[in-house]
């Protein structure tokens, strides 16, 4: 969100260029926009705010229903804890946050005439000091420039029916494609060609997501249009995450969140289509064209439905306002570095310290090659690819990520005396690297990964011989560090002997162990030496868990309907009942499955002492994740997820909170070129009232 001063200057410059031919220089040089004091304060403190259009007042409804609806919508937004900003033009001045008197003035369409204002209309309306109701397009322009990230409306304009002959396409779609703003609406108006509208939005790069338990795209008065979107979500929190990600990527295109009209106010789709066809025929007879078509059709529909469509219109905009305000509130929690909750926790001297976790594992230089072609041919031919070199190794990645999350870990590992070691030392915190040994016997460990055009790993090559130098003697030499640690994190790059010694010291000093299996071939190593009961937590993926079960002689048939979630749940329960550890199973795009003897609202740690009290029942919880597009890199997302979860545990958070932190960290990694992003976030700045939702299996 931009600061007000910068935003005003930016808008002023944009409009100034457009109005450079005006003779009235006062309009050019003076402020072109009036922001209410309430909205200025909200923007400066990055508070939750919601933009509202004004054509719904000036052209969308008859008086006084338009005024009553406008007041009701603003009140609903305030009830949710956000600030409404109705945008309009009054006597040539752009208003952001109109007053009650100004709203009354605009709404009385019998005595006051306003023009519909889109991008093309700003110069004329402002230079002639006229009144204007900003359309969706016009509102998007103003809201984006002053820094309001969420905009609520009834329905967005689109591609009109018979557009292949008339070329009538709403400017709303173009503005959505060129402004990074989230528009909450009940889809697009039913009078439009919805399939063509969705195609046009795709061309403009606009992400369209339905907020419902299905992907049926709504059509204003009706809950479905016969079209489906690629994505759907179910909570305002998920919407805020999508907006936050879009902002972080600095995408210059908008997002549409389509909210179906409440069921009890929806109109029958077949009846509605008949009404629309009848109204279109009348419009054609009367030669009504251009921007006059939509208000005419809406008025006709109100008459034919005997007011039912107007009631539906009011109901859907109120519902959209509620959801839009909730999204704005969640987005503020994400974007603000210091929320009231954070301040309270910072002032609370009883907040647990994170201690100094000890991580024993690999420090590796990663070289990732992403092939540009869709298929990879292993026939000695050359493939075009983009290559990156970054820090790697599960142990080192977790150490770096935890440091960036505000923890204070240290790494026990080994590197060579070569440029690769200097590279790793440079990108890893000095304290983390303090206990890393250097040797000239081997090169620093290296890992090369070959990914396809979608970023999926297809082949990995590793030179890990150096890790044999992490001997039991090296582990014992660090006993003083280990015994003070709140948790030991092991990755599977260690030898069996080093693992055994690490687990002995952890047991001796009552230190919980978090085991990261690292790789399919290495995952079962710790179970082959019979030390599985020394593990408190482990985080395998699907293939690693199957391998672990095989080593433990646990048989689990695949689900007959190929339901991988149910298969993993059953397998996780069998393993947990045998070795009494919490198993965190990563399922890729399906989310994370946690199998534990603890309830989701229990903290794993308290005052840096591991909670040994766990029930006998085994719980299985699925934490789904949202589907993400345009992922840059999947290498490192799992390590960042584990880092977020562990850091949350050390802070005394519940499982639900730990998962929330973990998901946030992994999403940052997915949009980073390196396995660990240059910037994560400090745990102290996270709103800990937020919890990930789960489904009990």
Beta bridge partners, 393, equal: none
By residue count, the chain amounts to 697
Is residue 200 located within the same domain as residue 251? yes
Report CA Rg, the chain: 29
Contact call for residues 370 and 451 (beta carbons, < 8 A): yes
Is residue 314 located within the same domain as residue 425? no
Is residue 104 located within the same domain as residue 189? no
> How high is the pLDDT of residue 21?
31
- Helix/strand/coil for 207: strand
Contact call for residues 142 and 86 (beta carbons, < 8 A): no
Is residue 160 located within the same domain as residue 291? yes
Nearest to 236, CA basis, from 50, 41, 38:
50
Element (H, E) at 93: strand 93-96
Torsion of CA 98, 102, 108, 111, to 10 degrees: -140
Is residue 70 located within the same domain as residue 184? no
> How high is the pLDDT of residue 670?
84
Query: Domain for residue 74, yes or no?
Result: yes
What DSSP letter does each residue of 242-289 carry, written as one string?
HHHHHHHTT-SS-EEEE-PPPGGGPPPHHHHHHHHHHHHHHHHHTT--
> How high is the pLDDT of residue 610?
54
| Omega within 30 of 0 (cis) for the link into 479 | no
> How high is the pLDDT of residue 18?
39
The CA–CA distances, whole Å, from 392 to 399, 518, 669, 675 equal: 10, 12, 13, 7
User: Which of 334, 366, 391 represents a domain boundary (last residue)?
Assistant: 334
The overall longest dimension of the chain from CA atoms, in Å, is 92
Q: How far apart are CA 49 and CA 80, in angstroms?
A: 11
- Residue 594's contacts (CB-CB under 8 Å, 6 or more residues apart) are 582, 583, 584, 585, 620, 621, 623, 655, 659, 694
Is residue 300 located within the same domain as residue 432? no
Nearest to 48, CA basis, from 332, 338, 339, 240:
332
Q: Would you call 418 exposed, middle or buried from its count of C-beta atoms within 10 A (0-12, 13-18, 19+)? A: middle
Q: Would you call 696 exposed, middle or buried from its count of C-beta atoms within 10 A (0-12, 13-18, 19+)? A: exposed
CATH number at 687 reads 3.40.1190.20
Structurally, the chain folds into a number of domains equal to: 3
Beta bridge partners, 457, equal: 451
Q: How far apart are CA 82 and CA 564, in angstroms?
A: 41
pTM: 0.52
Phi/psi at 497 (nearest 5 deg)? Answer: -65, -40
The CA–CA distances, whole Å, from 585 to 116, 162, 382, 399, 457 equal: 54, 52, 37, 21, 19
Sign of torsion over alpha carbons 451, 452, 453, 456 = negative
Residue ranges in the chain modelled with pLDDT below 50: 1-30, 337-352, 607-609
> How high is the pLDDT of residue 157?
87
> How high is the pLDDT of residue 614?
55
Nearest to 640, CA basis, from 667, 673, 605, 678:
667
Phi/psi at 144 (nearest 5 deg)? Answer: -65, -40
> How high is the pLDDT of residue 2?
38
Query: Domain for residue 342, yes or no?
Result: no
Is residue 455 located within the same domain as residue 487? yes
> How high is the pLDDT of residue 331?
92
Q: Specify the DSSP class assigned to residue 182.
A: E
Element (H, E) at 42: helix 37-44
> How high is the pLDDT of residue 25?
31
The CA–CA distances, whole Å, from 332 to 47, 325, 326, 640 equal: 6, 11, 10, 23
- Residue 93's contacts (CB-CB under 8 Å, 6 or more residues apart) are 32, 33, 34, 126
Is residue 136 located within the same domain as residue 170? no
Query: Domain for residue 254, yes or no?
Result: yes
Contact call for residues 499 and 474 (beta carbons, < 8 A): no
Is residue 56 located within the same domain as residue 157? no
* pLDDT tens track for 626-656: 777 667 777 788 999 999 999 999 988 999 9
Angular region, 580: left φ>0, alpha ψ -120 to 50, beta rest: left
> How high is the pLDDT of residue 143?
94
Sign of torsion over alpha carbons 69, 70, 73, 78 = negative
Is residue 170 located within the same domain as residue 318? yes
The whole domain housing 222 covers 150-334
Query: Domain for residue 340, yes or no?
Result: no
Query: Domain for residue 310, yes or no?
Result: yes
> How high is the pLDDT of residue 529?
81
CATH number at 204 reads 3.40.1790.10
Q: How far apart are CA 112 and CA 213, in angstroms?
A: 43
Query: Domain for residue 60, yes or no?
Result: yes
- Residue 400's contacts (CB-CB under 8 Å, 6 or more residues apart) are 391, 427, 428, 429, 432, 676
Is residue 436 located within the same domain as residue 577? yes
Torsion of CA 532, 661, 250, 121, to 10 degrees: 140
Q: How far apart are CA 633 and CA 612, in angstroms?
A: 37
Is residue 546 located within the same domain as residue 421? yes
Task: Tell me which residues are annotated as active site.
Answer: 53, 189
Angular region, 536: left φ>0, alpha ψ -120 to 50, beta rest: alpha
């Amino acid at each position: 969100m931009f600061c007000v001063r910068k935003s005003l200057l930016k808008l002023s410059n944009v409009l100034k260029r457009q109005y450079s031919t005006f003779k009235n220089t006062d309009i050019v040089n003076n402020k072109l926009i009036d922001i209410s004091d309430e909205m200025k304060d909200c923007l400066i403190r990055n508070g939750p705010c919601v933009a509202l259009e004004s054509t719904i007042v000036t052209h969308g409804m008859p008086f006084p229903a338009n005024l009553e609806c406008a007041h009701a919508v603003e009140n609903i937004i305030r009830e949710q804890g956000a600030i409404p900003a109705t945008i309009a033009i009054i006597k040539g001045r752009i208003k952001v946050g109109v007053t009650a008197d100004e709203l009354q003035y605009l709404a009385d369409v019998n005595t006051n005439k306003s023009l519909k204002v889109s991008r093309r209309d700003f110069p004329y309306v402002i230079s002639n000091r006229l009144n204007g109701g900003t359309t969706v397009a016009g509102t998007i322009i103003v809201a984006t420039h002053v820094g309001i990230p969420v905009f609520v409306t009834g329905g967005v304009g689109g591609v009109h029916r018979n557009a292949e002959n008339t070329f009538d396409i709403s400017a709303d779609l173009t503005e959505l494609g060129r402004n990074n703003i989230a528009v909450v609406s009940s889809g697009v108006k039913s009078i439009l060609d919805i399939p063509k509208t969705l195609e046009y939005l795709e061309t403009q790069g606009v992400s369209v997501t339905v907020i419902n338990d299905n992907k049926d795209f709504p059509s204003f008065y009706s809950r479905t249009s016969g079209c489906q979107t690629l994505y759907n979500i179910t909570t305002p929190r998920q919407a805020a995450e999508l907006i936050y990600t879009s902002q972080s990527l600095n995408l210059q295109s908008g997002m549409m969140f389509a909210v179906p009209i409440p069921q009890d106010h929806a109109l029958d789709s077949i009846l509605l289509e008949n009404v629309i066809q009848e109204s279109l025929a009348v419009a054609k007879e009367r030669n009504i064209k251009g921007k006059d078509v939509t208000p005419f059709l809406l008025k006709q529909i109100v008459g034919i439905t005997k007011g039912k469509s107007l009631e539906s219109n009011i109901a859907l905009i109120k519902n959209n306002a509620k959801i839009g305000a909730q999204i704005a509130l969640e987005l503020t929690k994400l974007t603000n570095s210091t929320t009231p909750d954070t301040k309270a926790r910072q002032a609370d001297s009883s907040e647990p310290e994170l201690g100094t976790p000890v991580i024993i594992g690999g420090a590796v230089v990663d070289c990732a090659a992403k092939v540009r072609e869709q298929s990879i041919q292993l026939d000695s031919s050359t493939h075009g690819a983009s290559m990156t070199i970054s820090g790697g190794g599960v142990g080192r990645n977790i150490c770096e990520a935890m440091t960036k999350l505000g923890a204070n870990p240290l790494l026990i590992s080994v590197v060579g005396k070569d440029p690769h070691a200097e590279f790793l030392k440079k990108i890893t915190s000095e304290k983390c690297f303090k206990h890393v040994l250097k040797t000239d016997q081997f090169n620093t460990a290296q890992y090369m990964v070959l990914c396809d055009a979608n970023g999926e790993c297809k082949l990995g090559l590793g030179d890990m011989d150096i890790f044999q130098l992490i001997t039991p003697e090296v582990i014992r030499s660090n006993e003083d560090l280990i015994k003070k640690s709140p948790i030991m994190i092991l990755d599977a790059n260690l030898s069996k002997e080093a693992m055994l010694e690490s687990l002995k010291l952890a047991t001796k000093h009552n230190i919980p162990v978090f085991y990261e299996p690292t790789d399919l071939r290495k995952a079962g190593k710790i179970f082959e030496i019979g030390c599985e009961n020394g593990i408190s937590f482990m985080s395998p993926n699907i293939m690693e868990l199957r391998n672990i079960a095989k080593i433990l002689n646990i048989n689990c048939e695949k689900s007959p309907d190929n339901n991988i979630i149910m298969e993993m749940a059953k397998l996780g329960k069998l393993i947990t009942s045998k070795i009494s550890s919490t198993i965190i199973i990563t399922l890729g795009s399906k989310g994370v499955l946690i199998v534990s003897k603890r309830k989701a609202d229990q903290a794993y740690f308290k005052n840096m002492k591991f909670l040994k009290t766990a029930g006998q029942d085994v719980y299985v919880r699925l934490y789904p994740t949202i589907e993400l597009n345009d992922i840059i890199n999947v290498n490192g997302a799992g390590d960042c997820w584990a880092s977020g979860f562990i850091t949350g545990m050390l802070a005394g958070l519940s499982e639900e909170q730990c998962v929330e932190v973990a998901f946030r960290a992994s999403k940052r990694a997915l949009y980073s070129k390196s396995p660990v992003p240059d910037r994560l976030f400090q745990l102290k700045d996270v709103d800990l009232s937020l919890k990930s939702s789960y489904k009990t299996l």
